[in-house]
C-alpha cells in the first residue's frame, strides 16, 4: 500500500483553494506558519501565482498538498499540479459554482486521467444553495457527481454534515432537520446505483435488493473514480471550520490504493530557483523511492544523474529529507540538465512518461530596461526566469532586434516585471512588438554595376552583371554562377555571393531582409592588378539593389495559424472578429458544446488578440498560435504601411 498521496487543489480564483489547504494543514497538526502564498508578488496581489506545496501527516499517512492559481493566465501551474497528483480536488464557490477556470481545470484533469473530488466551499455565504450548486456542477461539467455528504445549515451557518453512506452526522450532537433523513436516503440510493455499475458483486446485491456495506460501496466508488466516471462531492465552509477534517478522511479513503512497482521512477513536474538552494527540480515519485546518492537516468537524453540532496516539505517548509517514497513529492537540488516534464529512472530502458501538454504562450511584448546600463542584466535575469516556465519565453528577434517576452496574457507579464524588479532590481518597459516583415520581388530584373576606385597604389575594380528572379514562398535564397569564359575569375565568385547576401539583409523598400530570390551572376569584367574579392563584393551588393528596385519589390508579412476554442455560443462573434482582422477561416470542429475554429491571420492583427478574445468571450475561450508562412501585404495596405514605417524611421 502507498505510504504517501499527493493531492492537487484546482478551481477558479476566490473559491478558497489556498484557505482550504491551509486549514487541512492546521487540522493535521502542522506547526508554525502555514501560509501558502509566499512570494512577494503573491503577497502584494493577495492571490496565488505559482504552484505552491506543503505536506502533513493524517492518520499515519503522508499527504503532499499542491495548490494551483485560479487565474487563467497561470494555467501552466494547473498542468503541473494535476500531473503530480494522485487525486484532484476541484474547489468551487457555493454561490458561483462554475466559473471560467472551473471548466478549464476540469478539462485539464480529465485530459490527465486523474480521479477527482468536488469540494463545495463557502456554504456560509448568503446566496449559497447546496442543491442549486450541485445542479450547476452537474449541468456544466462532464462526469457523474455523487454526494458523499449532505450539509446541514441554519441560515448562513453550517452546523454539520451527514454521511450519505451511513446516514449519520459526521460530528456528535448535530440535530437532523425535518426532511434531511429522506434526502440522505435518496442520495445514498443514487450513490449505490452509480457505484454498482463498476462492481459486479455490488450490482448483484443491488438487483437482489440485498443490504450493502459502506466498504463495498467505497470499493466500487474508487473503481468508478479510477475509470474517470464517478466524482464524489463533499461540502463545507472553511471560514466556519466545517468539512475540513471530513475532506482529510475522504482523501485517505478515495485516493488510489494500487501498489506501485519497486523500480524507482520520477517525473520532474516543476522547476524553481531557490535563493538558497539554487535550481530545484520538483519530482513526483511514481514508483520506488529516491534517496541521496542514488543514480538516475534522464530517459529523454540518457544522461546519468547523481542525486545529491533530497528535500521534502514539512508543513510549508522545505527541509532536507534524504529520501522520498512512492506517491510523495520531493525537491532535488543541484540536478543539472533536467527539463520541465522529464522522466527520471534507475533503469535507463524504462518507458518515459508522455510530455505534459502545456499550452504555448500567445501574448507577445517587446521588453526593454528603463536604463540602458541594465540591458545586459535584464537578458541574464530573463533567461533565468523563463527556464522554469513552459508558458514564458524570451528571445531576440533576428529581424527587428527587439527582445521579445511571450506569455499567456498581460497579467502574467506584469508579474514577470514585478519579479525582475523584486529579485534582480531591474525596471522594465513593455511595448507592442514590431512586426518582422520581409521583402521579396515579383518579377525578373537585371542590373550591372562597376566598382572602380584608384587610391594611389593598387586600386579596386570589379564589374558585375546580375540577374534576379522571384522564387516560390519559403524557398529562401539561391545563388547561381553562370559565368562563361572566365570573364570573372573563379576566385572572385565567392565575393560576388557575399555581396549579394549582404544586400539581402537590408531590402530596398523599408530595410527588411529579402527572401525567396534567385540571383545569378552571368557576366562581368576584372582587372589583373586592381581586382579583388572585396571589389566584387561591393559591386555585387550594389548591382543587387539596383536590380531589386526594378523587380517590383514588395513587402511580405508573417501569417499566423490560430486554433481558437470556445463555447458554441461565441462562435459567431469570434468568426466575425477574426474576419475583421483579415483572417482566413480554414475549418471548424465542434465537440461537447465547444467549437474549435482554425484560421490564418496576419501577425500584425494578432498583437492584442489574447486580450481582445478574453473580453469577447468573458475569458471562456482559449487559443494556440504558431507561425504558418509569409505572404504578400495587400497593395493599398502596403502603401499605408510603408508611409508609417518611413515616418517612424524619420522620427527615430
Taking the alpha carbons of 602, 603, 607, 613 in that order, is the dihedral positive or negative?
A: positive
* DSSP code at position 20: H
Are 312 and 370 part of one and the same domain? no
Residues 201-232 have pLDDT tens digits of 999 999 999 999 999 999 999 999 999 999 99
Helix, strand, coil content of the chain in percent (nearest 5): 30, 35, 35
Are 590 and 477 part of one and the same domain? no
Structural domain range at position 270 = 265-345
Are 444 and 544 part of one and the same domain? yes
Q: Which of 530, 545, 512 is nearest to 445 (CA)?
A: 545
Strands (E), 493-592: 517-525, 553-567, 584-591
Residue 351 lies in a domain: no
Backbone angles phi, psi at 501, to 5 degrees: -65, -35
Q: Total structural domains in the chain?
A: 5
Q: Which of 429, 450, 469 is the last residue of a domain?
A: 429
Q: How many CB atoms lie within 10 A of CB 136?
A: 18
pLDDT reported for residue 501:
97
Q: Is the pLDDT of residue 235 over 80?
A: yes
Cell of 54: 506543503
Higher pLDDT, 459 or 411: 411
Higher pLDDT, 643 or 550: 550
Query: Measured between alpha carbons, how far is 420 from 369 in angstroms, rounded to an integer?
Result: 10
pLDDT reported for residue 318:
94
Are 269 and 248 part of one and the same domain? no
Cell of 7: 493531492
Q: Is the pLDDT of residue 652 over 70?
A: no
Query: Measured between alpha carbons, how far is 322 from 193 in angstroms, rounded to an integer?
Result: 46
Are 115 and 226 part of one and the same domain? yes
Q: 270: phi > 0 → left, psi -120 to 50 → alpha, else beta; which? A: beta
Give the SS3 label for residue 538: helix
Residue 22 lies in a domain: yes
Q: What percent of the chain has pLDDT over 70?
A: 99
Residue 122 lies in a domain: yes
Helix axes 214-226, 244-254, angle to 10 degrees: 70
> Model confidence at 136, in pLDDT bands (50, 70, 90)?
very high
| Beta carbons of 3 and 55 less than 8 angstroms apart | no
Residue 594 lies in a domain: yes
Q: Which of 188, 221, 254 is the last residue of a domain?
A: 254
Q: Which of 121, 132, 129 is nearest to 15 (CA)?
A: 121
Instruction: Give the domain CATH number at 400.
Output: 3.30.70.870
Residues 428-437 have pLDDT tens digits of 999 999 999 9
Burial 285-301 (b: 16+ CB within 10 A, else e): bbbbbbeeebebbbbee
Q: Which residues contact 189 (CB under 8 A, 6 or more apart)?
A: none
pLDDT reported for residue 572:
96
Instruction: Give the domain CATH number at 339.
Output: 2.40.30.10
pLDDT reported for residue 100:
94
Residues 286-318 have pLDDT tens digits of 999 999 999 999 999 999 999 999 999 999 999
Residue 646 lies in a domain: no
Q: Is the pLDDT of residue 588 over 60?
A: yes
∠ CA(17), CA(161), CA(154), 5° rounding? 95
Are 282 and 235 part of one and the same domain? no
- DSSP track, 229-276: -EEEEEE-BGGGTBSHHHHHHHHHHHS--PPPPSS-EEEEEEEEEETT
- DSSP track, 125-172: STT--HHHHHHHHHHHSSSEEEESEEEEEETTEEEEEEETTT-SBSST
Residue 602 lies in a domain: yes
| Beta carbons of 54 and 315 less than 8 angstroms apart | yes
Are 116 and 220 part of one and the same domain? yes
Q: Which of 66, 67, 65, 69 is nearest to 47 (CA)?
A: 69
Cell of 291: 534517496
pLDDT reported for residue 177:
83
Are 100 and 174 part of one and the same domain? yes
Instruction: Give the domain CATH number at 517.
Output: 3.30.230.10
Give me the residue label for grid cell 540591458. 375
Give me the residue label for grid cell 546600463. 373
Cα→Cα distances 28→2, 25, 31, 56, Å: 19, 5, 9, 6
pLDDT reported for residue 1:
57
Average pLDDT on 20-27 reads 96
Residues 146-190 have pLDDT tens digits of 999 999 988 888 889 999 999 888 876 777 888 889 999 999 999
> Model confidence at 454, in pLDDT bands (50, 70, 90)?
confident
Are 498 and 559 part of one and the same domain? no
Q: How many CB atoms lie within 10 A of CB 59?
A: 9
Query: Measured between alpha carbons, how far is 392 from 384 in angstroms, rounded to an integer?
Result: 11
Cα→Cα distances 193→16, 206, 216, 229, 543, Å: 32, 7, 12, 13, 84
Instruction: Give the domain CATH number at 205.
Output: 3.40.50.300
> Model confidence at 456, in pLDDT bands (50, 70, 90)?
low
Are 397 and 453 part of one and the same domain? no
Residue 642 lies in a domain: no
Q: Which of 198, 226, 254 is the last residue of a domain?
A: 254
Average pLDDT on 559-584 reads 96
* DSSP code at position 356: P
> Model confidence at 651, in pLDDT bands (50, 70, 90)?
low
Residues 373-418 have pLDDT tens digits of 888 888 889 988 999 999 999 999 999 999 999 999 999 999 999 9
| Beta carbons of 35 and 28 less than 8 angstroms apart | no
- DSSP track, 372-427: GGGHHHHHHHHHHHHTT-SS-EEEE-TTT--EEEEESSHHHHHHHHHHHHHHH---
Strands (E), 41-127: 52-58, 61-67, 87-93, 116-121
Residue 213 lies in a domain: yes
Question: Which range has the worst mean pLDDT, 5-9, 241-245, 375-379?
Answer: 375-379
> Model confidence at 558, in pLDDT bands (50, 70, 90)?
very high
| Beta carbons of 464 and 488 less than 8 angstroms apart | yes
Name the burial class of residue 513, with classes exposed (0-12), middle (13-18) and buried (19+) by CB atoms within 10 angstroms of its CB: middle
Are 562 and 545 part of one and the same domain? no
Q: What percent of the chain has pLDDT over 90?
A: 85
Q: Which of 12, 46, 232 is nearest to 122 (CA)?
A: 12
Q: How many CB atoms lie within 10 A of CB 613?
A: 25
Are 473 and 547 part of one and the same domain? yes
Amino acid at each position: 500500500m502507498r505510504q504517501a498521496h499527493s493531492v492537487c487543489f484546482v478551481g477558479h480564483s476566490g473559491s478558497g483553494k489556498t484557505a482550504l489547504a491551509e486549514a487541512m494543514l492546521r487540522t493535521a497538526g502542522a506547526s508554525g506558519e502555514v501560509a501558502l502564498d509566499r512570494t512577494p508578488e503573491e503577497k502584494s496581489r493577495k492571490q496565488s501565482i505559482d504552484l505552491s506545496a506543503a505536506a502533513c501527516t493524517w492518520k499515519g499517512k503522508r499527504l503532499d498538498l499542491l495548490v494551483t492559481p485560479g487565474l487563467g493566465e497561470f494555467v501552466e501551474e494547473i498542468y503541473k499540479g494535476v500531473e503530480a497528483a494522485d487525486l484532484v480536488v476541484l474547489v468551487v464557490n457555493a454561490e458561483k459554482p462554475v466559473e471560467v477556470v472551473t471548466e478549464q481545470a476540469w478539462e485539464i484533469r480529465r485530459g490527465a486521467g486523474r480521479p477527482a473530488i468536488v469540494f463545495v466551499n463557502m456554504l456560509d455565504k448568503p446566496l449559497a444553495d447546496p442543491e442549486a450548486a450541485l445542479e450547476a456542477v452537474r449541468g456544466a461539467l462532464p462526469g457523474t457527481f455523487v454526494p458523499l455528504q449532505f450539509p446541514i445549515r441554519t441560515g448562513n451557518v453550517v452546523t454539520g454534515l451527514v454521511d450519505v453512506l451511513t446516514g449519520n452526522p459526521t460530528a456528535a450532537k448535530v440535530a437532523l432537520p425535518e426532511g434531511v433523513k429522506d434526502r440522505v436516503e435518496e442520495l445514498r440510493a443514487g450513490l449505490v446505483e452509480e457505484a454498482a455499475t463498476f462492481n459486479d458483486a455490488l450490482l448483484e446485491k443491488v438487483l437482489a435488493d440485498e443490504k450493502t456495506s459502506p466498504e463495498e460501496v467505497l470499493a466500487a466508488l474508487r473503481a468508478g473514480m479510477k475509470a474517470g466516471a464517478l466524482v464524489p462531492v463533499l461540502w463545507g465552509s472553511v471560514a466556519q471550520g466545517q468539512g475540513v477534517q471530513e475532506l482529510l478522511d475522504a482523501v485517505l479513503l478515495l485516493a488510489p490504493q494500487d501498489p506501485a512497482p519497486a523500480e524507482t521512477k520520477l517525473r520532474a513536474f516543476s522547476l524553481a530557483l531557490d535563493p538558497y538552494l539554487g535550481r530545484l527540480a520538483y519530482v513526483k515519485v511514481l514508483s520506488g523511492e529516491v534517496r541521496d546518492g542514488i543514480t538516475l537516468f534522464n530517459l529523454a537524453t540518457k544522461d546519468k544523474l547523481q542525486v545529491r540532496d533530497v528535500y521534502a516539505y514539512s508543513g510549508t517548509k522545505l527541509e532536507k529529507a534524504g529520501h522520498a517514497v512512492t506517491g510523495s513529492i520531493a525537491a532535488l537540488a543541484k540536478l543539472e540538465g533536467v527539463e520541465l516534464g522529464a522522466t527520471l529512472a534507475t533503469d535507463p530502458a524504462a518507458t518515459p512518461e508522455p510530455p505534459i501538454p502545456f499550452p504555448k504562450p500567445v501574448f507577445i511584448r517587446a521588453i526593454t530596461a528603463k536604463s540602458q546600463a541594465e540591458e545586459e542584466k535584464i537578458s541574464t535575469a530573463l533567461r533565468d526566469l523563463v527556464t522554469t516556465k513552459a508558458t514564458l519565453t524570451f528571445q531576440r528577434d533576428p529581424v527587428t532586434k527587439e527582445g521579445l517576452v511571450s506569455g499567456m496574457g498581460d497579467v502574467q507579464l506584469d508579474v514577470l516585471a514585478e519579479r525582475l524588479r523584486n529579485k534582480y532590481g531591474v525596471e522594465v518597459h513593455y511595448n507592442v512588438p514590431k512586426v518582422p516583415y520581409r521583402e521579396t520581388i515579383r518579377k525578373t530584373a537585371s542590373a550591372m554595376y562597376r566598382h572602380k576606385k584608384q587610391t594611389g597604389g593598387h586600386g579596386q575594380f570589379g564589374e558585375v552583371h546580375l540577374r534576379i528572379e522571384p522564387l516560390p514562398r519559403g524557398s529562401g535564397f539561391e545563388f547561381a554562377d553562370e559565368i562563361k569564359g572566365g570573364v570573372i575569375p573563379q576566385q572572385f565568385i565567392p565575393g560576388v555571393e557575399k555581396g549579394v547576401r549582404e544586400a539581402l539583409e537590408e531590402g530596398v523598400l523599408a530595410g527588411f531582409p529579402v527572401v525567396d530570390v534567385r540571383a545569378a551572376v552571368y557576366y562581368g569584367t576584372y582587372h589583373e592588378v586592381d581586382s579583388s574579392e572585396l571589389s566584387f563584393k561591393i559591386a555585387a551588393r550594389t548591382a543587387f539593389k539596383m536590380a531589386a528596385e526594378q523587380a517590383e519589390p514588395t513587402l511580405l508579412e508573417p501569417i499566423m495559424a490560430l486554433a481558437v476554442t470556445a463555447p458554441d455560443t461565441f462562435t459567431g462573434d469570434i468568426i466575425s472578429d477574426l474576419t475583421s482582422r483579415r483572417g482566413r477561416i480554414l475549418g471548424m470542429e465542434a465537440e461537447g458544446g465547444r467549437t474549435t475554429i482554425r484560421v490564418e491571420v496576419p501577425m500584425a492583427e494578432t498583437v492584442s488578440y489574447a486580450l481582445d478574445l478574453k473580453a469577447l468571450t468573458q475569458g471562456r475561450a482559449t487559443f494556440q498560435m504558431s507561425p504558418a508562412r509569409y505572404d504578400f501585404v495587400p497593395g493599398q495596405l502596403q502603401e499605408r504601411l510603408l508611409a508609417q514605417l518611413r515616418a517612424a524611421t524619420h522620427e527615430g
